[in-house]
Structure 1
Amino acid sequence: MSESKTLRELGLSSRRTVLKGGLAAAAAVALPAGVARANPSRTPAAPLPLGPTATRIKNLTGPNETGQWGAALTDLGIPALCPNGTMLFVCGDTFEGPNVGDGQWTAPAGLRSSSADLGNLTIDGAVGGAHVQSMVPEPHTPVPPDKATTAIPSDAFTVGDTMYMHLMRGVIYDTHHTELWSSKDNGDTWTLACSWDDPGLHRGNFQQKTYAIGDNGTAYVFSGLFNRGPVSELLLHRVALDRLGDPAGYEPWGWDGSKWGWGIPPTTVATPRKWGEICFRAMGGKFAFSFFDESAAQIKLQVFPIPESDLFTTPEQVLIQGSDHDAGNDLRAPYGGWIVPGSTFDNFHAVISQWIYPTPDYRVIHYKFDGIAS
C-alpha cells in the first residue's frame, strides 16, 4: 500500500464534494467538554504494521454492469442478506447516466444478486423491476432552488424475516431528520418504522447509524455525524431487537467522569475524526467495525471482542488506501466499505465505492481481503 495521502493531496474529489444541483455545508460540531476528561490516558493505537491484502473481484455496478436497470452510476451499495437467501445492495444517489446528474435520479435504490455466494455476487435485478425505482418516496425537492433533498442509506440489515434500512433525509450533509424503514418482502416494499426528527440529537452524532446484531436479542448501534467535513464523535447505543422501531428503546453507553456504563449520556467511544461511512457487524463471536477515515483517505477495520471494547486503543487495519491509481489496496477516490454478509475473518469480503469526478467513474466494487488480524 502507498503512503497515506488525503484525497485533496491526490487531486481527487471525495464523495459528494461536487453534485449537480449544489451541496450544503453543515456547521462544524464542537466536541463536548467531557470528551477530553472521559479518556485522559488513552492514545490512539497505531495501525498494524502489515495490512490485509486486497483483491479486486469485480465491478458490481457501472454502465456495463447495471445500466440496463437505469442504474449506470451508483453510490454506496450496502449489502444485506434477504430472508429468501438473495442479496440486496442498497444504493444512495443513483443516476441513469451517462454522467452524474444525468437521467433519472433515484435514492435510495435497490439492486439484486440472486446469488448470495461470496464468490458469485452479480447484479441481475433491481427493486422496481426492469427499471430501478426509489424504494421510498423521495422527490428530490429543490429547497432552495440550487439545493435538492435526497435520501441516503447508512445501513441495511436483516433480523429474522424482516429487513431494515436506515436513511438520512434532507440536503446532502445538512440532515433534516433520519428514519428506519422495514420490509417483509425481501426489500420490494418498505414501511416506515420510526424517525428521529431532531438532527442535533446527541450533538448531531446520531445521524449516521449502523447496526450490529448480537446473539442476545440486542442490536448495538454506532452513530456519528453525517458530514465528513468536521471532526466528530462516534457513539454507541443498544436496543432490543423487538424495539428497533422505538426511539425510546435506544440506550446510550457513556462516561460519567469516573466510569463507563449503559444509561449514561453518550460519550464518544473512539478517537474523534472526520468520519465517513461506517459499518458495524457481529462476526465469528466478535465484532467488526469498518469505516472511511476522510483525513487519511483510508478505509479501515477494527476487530474487538465486545461492543463496549476500547476502540481508542484497538488497532486499525487499513483495507483500502486512497491513491492516484487502482492496484491492490490502492484505489482512486474510495469511500464506503461495507462488510458483505456471510464473510468470516478468513474469507472477508467488502463492498467499496468509488467516485472520480468529473469522469463517470461512480461505482460499487467487490473486494476480498486476506490476512485480517482477528
Structure 2
Amino acid sequence: MHGPTPSGPRPSRRALLRGAAGGGLALTGLAAAAPGASATARAPGARATGAKVRDLTGPAQTGRFGAPWTDLGIPVRCPDGSMLLVCGDTFDGGGVGGPDWRSPVGLRSSNADPAALTVDGCVGGGRAVGLVPEGHEGGTTAIPSDVFTVGSTMYMHLMRGVIYRTHHSDFWRSDDNGETWQYLCQWPGDQYGGQFQQKTYAVADDGYCYVLSTVFNRDITSGLLLHRVRQDALGNPAAYEPWGYAGGAWAWGNPPTTVTAARRWGEICFRAMDGGYALSWLNMAPLDLRAQFFPLPTSNLFTTPEQTTIVPTVPGREGGNAVASPYGGFIVPGSTVGDLHLAVSQWYDAQNYRVMQYRINGLTR
C-alpha cells in the first residue's frame, strides 16, 4: 500500500501503518558518474492508448479470501502453470487499515492467460495468509518488489522496515508454486546509498538474471543501477556483479553507476520479453507510468524512448488509460510490446484500494 499522492484527500499512510514515512537515505554521487546523467526525466514520446480489462482484487473479487483490500499484485507464472499475484499491505474488514494486516500475500489465478485472469484461489487455502513472518511491530512491513520464476523455483524480493525507511531487503525461494517460502539472504538498506533497496529481475536465456534497482522512497532522487547474477547463484549477495562507467568505458565489475537519468522512482518492473527487454515504472515527476523497450540489458537507456502507458486523473474521470492515483505497473507474463498487460494499483480512499489489469496498445520498440 504505497500509492502516489492523489489530487484529493486520503487517509494518512503514517496513521494507517503506525509509522513515519520519512527517511534519511542520501545519494552517494553515483548518478553523476555516467555520461549524460541528469536529475530531470526526459519528456516521454507519443502516448499509447489503453483500457481497463478488469479489477483483479476488491471485495467482490478477493473478499472471500480475506483480502478485499490489497495492492501491487506482482504477477508471476508458477511452474505448475498458474498465475500468482503477490500483493502488498492487505486488510480485511471495511477498508484500508482494517483488521488482519498481512504483507505479502499470494492470490492465485488457475488460468495464466492474460485474457482470462481471475483470482480463484490463494496461498493459505480458504484465507490468504502472510507468505513470510512479519509482525508489523512498530509499523514495519514487508513490501514485495519482485517475484519471478527460474525453472521449477520461484524467487521473491522484499523490502523490510517502516514504509520508505528500508532497514534491509531480503530474498526468498519457493519450490512448491509459492505455497511455502524459504529465506535465502539479505542486503543492508544503505547499500549503494540506498539504491539497492528496490530490485527487479529479468530472467535471461544466457544463464543470468539482470537486476535493476533504486531507492525505495518516492521523495528521494535515485539512480537506476544494473547488476547481473548467475541463475544458480541468486541467493549469494557476493555473486551480484555491477555494471558501471569508469575510465571512459562501461564494463561489468566497475562500481555501479546509474544507467539512466536519476529521478524519483516508484515501482519498477524489468522483464525479458519479445526477444529483448522491457522496463515499466511509476514516474513521480511528472506523475505517470512509463515503459522502455530495448534489445540488451546494457542498452543505453539515456537515449531509449520513454513511452507513457498510464496517465493520472481524478476520481470520476477515469477512462481509457487514465487512472486516479495509479501506481505499480507490473508486466503480466504473456505480454508483448504490441499487447502489453499491466497490473496497476490504485489508492485514493479507504474503499478504493485495489489491483487492476490494464491492456496498453500503440507501444513501439
In structure 2, do the counterparts of structure 1 residues 213 and 14 end up closer, same or farther at CA, with 3 Å as the change threshold? farther
The residue identity in structure 1 corresponding to 2:133 is P
Equivalent residue, structure 1, for 2:348: 356
Aligned pair partner of 1:298 in 288, 292, 295: 288
The residue identity in structure 2 corresponding to 1:126 is C
In structure 2, do the counterparts of structure 1 residues 334 and 40 end up closer, same or farther at CA, with 3 Å as the change threshold? closer
Equivalent residue, structure 2, for 1:176: 167
Q: Distance in 1 between matches of 2:118 and 2:163?
A: 29
Q: Gaps spanning 5+ residues in structure 2: where?
A: none
Q: Distance in 2 between matches of 1:364 and 1:213?
A: 24
In structure 2, do the counterparts of structure 1 residues 172 and 12 end up closer, same or farther at CA, with 3 Å as the change threshold? same
The residue identity in structure 1 corresponding to 2:108 is R
Q: Secondary structure at the match of 1:362?
A: strand
Q: Distance in 1 between matches of 2:68 and 2:21?
A: 25
Residue 347 of structure 1 and its aligned partner are, at CA, apart by 2.1
Aligned pair partner of 2:191 in 194, 201, 205: 201
Aligned pair partner of 1:286 in 265, 276, 284: 276
Q: Secondary structure at the match of 2:115?
A: coil
Confirm or deny: 8 A CA contact 1:44 1:313 kept in the other structure: no
In structure 2, do the counterparts of structure 1 residues 18 and 237 end up closer, same or farther at CA, with 3 Å as the change threshold? farther
The residue identity in structure 2 corresponding to 1:309 is S
Residue 8 of structure 1 and its aligned partner are, at CA, apart by 5.3
In structure 2, do the counterparts of structure 1 residues 136 and 231 end up closer, same or farther at CA, with 3 Å as the change threshold? same
Equivalent residue, structure 1, for 2:7: 10
Q: Secondary structure at the match of 2:160?
A: strand
Moved over 2 A (4+): 6-20, 34-38, 40-46
The residue identity in structure 2 corresponding to 1:275 is W
Equivalent residue, structure 2, for 1:275: 265
Confirm or deny: 8 A CA contact 1:150 1:172 kept in the other structure: yes
Confirm or deny: 8 A CA contact 1:7 1:14 kept in the other structure: no
Alignment of 1:144-223 (within 5 A): 148-196=139-187, 198-223=188-213
Equivalent residue, structure 1, for 2:118: 122
Q: Distance in 2 between matches of 1:373 and 1:317?
A: 8
Q: Distance in 1 between matches of 2:240 and 2:54?
A: 38
Alignment of 1:1-374 (within 5 A): 10-11=7-8, 16=13, 19-32=16-29, 35-40=31-36, 45-49=42-46, 51-142=47-138, 148-196=139-187, 198-324=188-314, 325-357=317-349, 359-374=350-365
Equivalent residue, structure 2, for 1:145: none
Q: Distance in 2 between matches of 1:126 and 1:175?
A: 27
Confirm or deny: 8 A CA contact 2:246 2:254 kept in the other structure: yes
Q: Gaps spanning 5+ residues in structure 1: where?
A: 1-5, 143-147
In structure 2, do the counterparts of structure 1 residues 167 and 244 end up closer, same or farther at CA, with 3 Å as the change threshold? same
Q: Secondary structure at the match of 1:97?
A: coil
Residue 270 of structure 1 and its aligned partner are, at CA, apart by 1.0
Q: Distance in 1 between matches of 2:5 and 2:216?
A: 20
Confirm or deny: 8 A CA contact 2:33 2:245 kept in the other structure: no
Confirm or deny: 8 A CA contact 1:79 1:351 kept in the other structure: yes
CA deviations over 1:175-213 (Å, ceiling 9, x no partner): 1111110000000000012111x2111111000000001
Q: Distance in 1 between matches of 2:156 and 2:44?
A: 31
